């Protein structure tokens, strides 16, 4: 077994210092993080909600109440049945996921948005379609409709497949309000709708809970979500191609308790950081001074290849320092934590020969100066990576990731170090007050431990284990090891021939919460699955969230009201590409 530990350089020669200053001057124009505030643009879009407009992706509110008021106009050029020539029977008006309106007279009707709107609403005057993006698996919604203010019926417990269809309505031709699917109960009805009368459909989702989506036309993903100390606000961090300085940039957003970037609320904001090349944020944490620390990867470093990229901001998202760390090859970091005298991050660093990469653990000061940096590897030319790091009760650090030689040969990799990042390896003497070890588990195909926490009697970690050819599918893995790295128990969650993996786990007083993506259950694409397990890994409950396309979680965090926040990305809702997706649930996984 081979261990490799790399120490940070202790100083520079005069020539090296001069060259470094020159290089820094050259790259300053491209690597200094930029940030923009999109609130002003969102305000303009908010004021432009008229027929034919599409909501700006960066200002999307949670759907609490949607009211569509429509006054039909008499249309000439009717067909032999008295209908507009391009109308069709039973055209969907409201669907829990997608809505379309194609009857000719509806083009001339007026759509009025009232109250908080949500998701994405788009009216296309060319073909008369009106799209509503919505989501969630919660019930408890209420739909009502009225003609000239008269309520006809109330429908409760609307499920995902709920549909209201508006038939070919003109003059006194009846309006078919289609079929409500309420579990096994069905309702069909017809209402007369003549010229000058208005049809109002209200879908009240106040009991369904909080989901929000924001993003633009590019690819936008959240990797972290945090509850702030000022009541009722959350911080979301990740990467965006829709906004910023080009290619991919870090973003940091402060949203309100409804998941909204509210242009009327000066406490909410959206900012990006990065140069014209790519900058990818993978982790963000709140800091003790009220600010935030982010880490990830950039190709704008001074040493070539890619580097780990750390940005520290104040409470308003303003940069306090931004620095890159790495060698001449491929370096990146996936997690960062605050410690008493600085910050510690983990990721991967390409070994000098260029034949592989090692797990890296780096400590920096409160101003970003490199204090020490160690690498850890088992195979001489293998692939090792660190995804999660936590400070332990003995003052050391625990890191989870993977170790192997390729796609078909990777193991779960756990590293326990002392307070200086040392393990018991030739030439190194770790602090005897800290237990240290490096161990692998579940050797086989591509297996990795994405998240780890200290618990009573050891550590629990979550990740994925893959089957081998020909399926190459994965299951969620949840395991506990003792303080010396010996396995206590392990569980696998998933079904055969499907893909499932754990993105992050957190530990509460009496349970383990898992945020995972799954294809074993739910729609055809990936769904977000949240699992609550006891401290022995036994599942208490599991619930799904998302739509018909791919929805993936990257982070979960506990909230002060005993609920949970989940953040990731979605292709089911929002604009093209992928958008930031945040979900707030209560302690039982339900929407408040």
pLDDT tens-digit series, residues 188-225? 233 333 344 333 333 333 333 467 777 888 899 999 99
Cβ 162 vs Cβ 218: under 8 Å: no
Place of tokens 């969230």: 545
Cβ 284 vs Cβ 234: under 8 Å: no
Query: Which range is least confidently modeled, 212-216, 222-226, 273-277, 582-586?
Result: 212-216
| Rg of the chain, C-alpha, whole Å | 27
| Structural domain includes residue 84 | yes
| Structural domain includes residue 479 | no
The runs of H, that is alpha helices, within 32-94 are: 39-46
| Structural domain includes residue 477 | no
Beta bridge partners of 154: 144
d(CA 567, CA 239): 12
| Structural domain includes residue 117 | yes
d(CA 416, CA 428): 14
Which has more pLDDT, 515 or 53?
515
Cβ 299 vs Cβ 277: under 8 Å: yes
Element spanning 585, H or E: strand 579-585
Cβ 4 vs Cβ 375: under 8 Å: yes
Over the stretch 283-310, which tens digit does the pLDDT of each residue have? 999 999 999 999 999 998 766 789 999 9
Q: Which two tokens stand for residue 8?
A: 């940070």
Give me the percent of the chain exceeding a pLDDT of 70: 59
Give me the percent of the chain exceeding a pLDDT of 90: 40
The count of domains in the chain is 1
**Distances 263 to 41, 43, 63, 243, 576 between C-alpha atoms, Å:** 9, 5, 17, 17, 23
What b/e sequence results for 425-441 when a residue is b if at least 16 CB atoms lie within 10 Å of its CB, and e otherwise? beeeebeeebbbbbbbb
CA nearest 167: which of 99, 268, 90, 54? 90
Which has more pLDDT, 77 or 452?
452
Cα angle: 480, vertex 485, 486; to 5 degrees: 70
| Structural domain includes residue 93 | yes
Whether pLDDT at 11 is above 50: no
d(CA 293, CA 301): 18
Whether pLDDT at 532 is above 90: yes
Query: Which range is least confidently modeled, 40-54, 237-251, 363-377, 386-400?
Result: 40-54
State mean pLDDT over 378-384.
Answer: 74
Region of 537 (left: φ > 0; alpha: ψ -120 to 50; beta: rest) is left
d(CA 37, CA 561): 30
Cβ 101 vs Cβ 133: under 8 Å: no
d(CA 230, CA 286): 12
Over the stretch 454-480, which tens digit does the pLDDT of each residue have? 999 999 999 998 866 556 678 899 999
Over the stretch 59-85, which tens digit does the pLDDT of each residue have? 222 222 222 233 333 223 334 444 333
| Structural domain includes residue 176 | yes
| Structural domain includes residue 181 | yes
pLDDT confidence of residue 120: 30
* Contacts of residue 73, Cβ cutoff 8 Å, sequence gap at least 6: 105, 108, 109, 195
Q: Which two tokens stand for residue 520?
A: 């074993």
DSSP for 524-573?
SS-EEEEEEE-TTS-EEEEEEE--SS-EEEEEEEE-TTS-EEEEEEESSS
State mean pLDDT over 406-415.
Answer: 84
pLDDT band at 381 (very low <50, low <70, confident <90, very high): low
| Structural domain includes residue 147 | yes
Q: In terms of residue numbers, what domain contains 72?
A: 63-204
**Distances 233 to 136, 229, 251, 267, 353 between C-alpha atoms, Å:** 21, 8, 16, 8, 47
CA nearest 235: which of 321, 317, 345, 323? 317
Which has more pLDDT, 255 or 389?
389
* Contacts of residue 66, Cβ cutoff 8 Å, sequence gap at least 6: 113, 115, 117, 118, 132, 202, 203, 205
* Contacts of residue 67, Cβ cutoff 8 Å, sequence gap at least 6: 112, 113, 114, 115, 200, 201, 202
pLDDT confidence of residue 523: 59
d(CA 505, CA 11): 39
Cβ 407 vs Cβ 445: under 8 Å: yes
pLDDT band at 183 (very low <50, low <70, confident <90, very high): very low
Over the stretch 125-173, which tens digit does the pLDDT of each residue have? 343 333 333 332 222 233 333 333 233 333 222 222 222 332 222 222 2
Cα angle: 395, vertex 400, 403; to 5 degrees: 130
């Amino acid at each position: 077994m081979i261990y490799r530990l790399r120490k940070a350089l202790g100083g520079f020669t005069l020539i090296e210092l001069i060259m470094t200053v020159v290089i820094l001057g050259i790259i300053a124009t491209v690597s200094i993080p930029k940030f923009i505030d999109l609130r002003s643009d969102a305000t303009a879009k908010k004021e432009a909600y008229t027929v034919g407009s599409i909501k700006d992706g960066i200002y999307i509110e949670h759907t609490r109440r949607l009211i569509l008021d429509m006054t039909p106009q008499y249309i000439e050029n009717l067909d032999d049945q008295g209908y507009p020539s391009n109308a069709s029977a039973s055209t969907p008006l409201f669907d829990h996921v997608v809505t379309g309106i194609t009857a000719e007279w509806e083009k001339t009707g007026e759509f009025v948005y009232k109250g908080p709107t949500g998701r994405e609403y788009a009216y296309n005057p060319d073909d008369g379609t009106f799209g509503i993006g919505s989501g969630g698996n919660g019930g408890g919604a209420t739909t009502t409709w009225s003609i000239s203010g008269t309520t006809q019926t109330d429908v409760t417990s609307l499920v995902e497949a709920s549909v209201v269809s508006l038939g070919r309505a003109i003059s006194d031709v009846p309006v078919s309000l289609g079929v409500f699917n309420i579990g096994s109960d069905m309702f069909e009805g017809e209402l007369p709708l003549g010229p000058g009368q208005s049809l109002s459909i209200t879908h009240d989702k106040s009991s369904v809970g909080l989901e929000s989506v924001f993003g633009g036309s590019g690819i936008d993903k959240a990797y972290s979500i945090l509850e702030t100390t000022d009541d009722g606000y959350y911080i979301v961090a990740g990467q965006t191609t829709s906004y910023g300085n080009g290619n991919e940039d870090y973003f940091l957003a402060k949203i309100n308790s409804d998941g909204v970037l509210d242009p009327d609320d000066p406490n909410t904001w959206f900012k990006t950081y990065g140069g014209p090349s790519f900058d990818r944020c993978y982790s963000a944490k709140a800091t003790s001074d009220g600010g935030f620390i982010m880490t990830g990867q950039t190709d704008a470093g001074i040493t070539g290849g890619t580097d780990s990229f750390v940005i520290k901001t104040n409470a308003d998202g303003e940069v306090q320092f931004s620095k890159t760390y790495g060698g001449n090859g491929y370096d990146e970091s996936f997690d960062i934590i605050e410690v008493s005298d600085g910050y510690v991050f983990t990721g991967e660093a390409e070994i000098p020969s260029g034949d592989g990469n090692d797990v890296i653990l780096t400590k920096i000061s409160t101003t970003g100066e490199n204090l020490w940096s160690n690498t850890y590897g088992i195979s001489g030319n293998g692939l090792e990576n660190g995804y999660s790091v936590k400070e332990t009760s003995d003052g050391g650090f625990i890191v989870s990731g993977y170790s192997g030689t390729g796609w078909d040969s990777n193991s779960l990799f756990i590293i326990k170090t002392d307070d200086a990042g040392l393990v018991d390896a030739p030439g190194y003497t770790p602090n005897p007050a800290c237990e240290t070890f490096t161990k692998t588990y579940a050797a086989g195909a591509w297996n990795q431990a994405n998240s780890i926490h200290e618990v009573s009697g050891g550590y629990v970690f979550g990740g994925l284990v893959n089957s081998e050819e020909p399926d190459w599918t994965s299951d969620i893995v949840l395991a506990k090891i003792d303080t010396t790295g010996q396995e206590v128990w392990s569980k696998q969650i998933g079904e055969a021939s499907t893909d499932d993996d754990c993105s992050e786990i957190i530990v509460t007083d009496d349970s383990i919460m898992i945020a995972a993506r799954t294809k074993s259950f739910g729609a055809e694409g990936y769904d977000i699955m949240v699992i609550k397990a006891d401290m022995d890994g036994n599942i208490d409950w599991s619930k799904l969230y998302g739509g018909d396309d791919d929805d993936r979680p990257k982070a979960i965090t506990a909230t002060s009201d005993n609920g949970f926040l989940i953040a990731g990305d979605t292709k089911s809702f929002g604009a093209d590409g992928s958008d930031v997706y945040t979900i707030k649930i209560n302690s039982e996984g339900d929407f408040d």
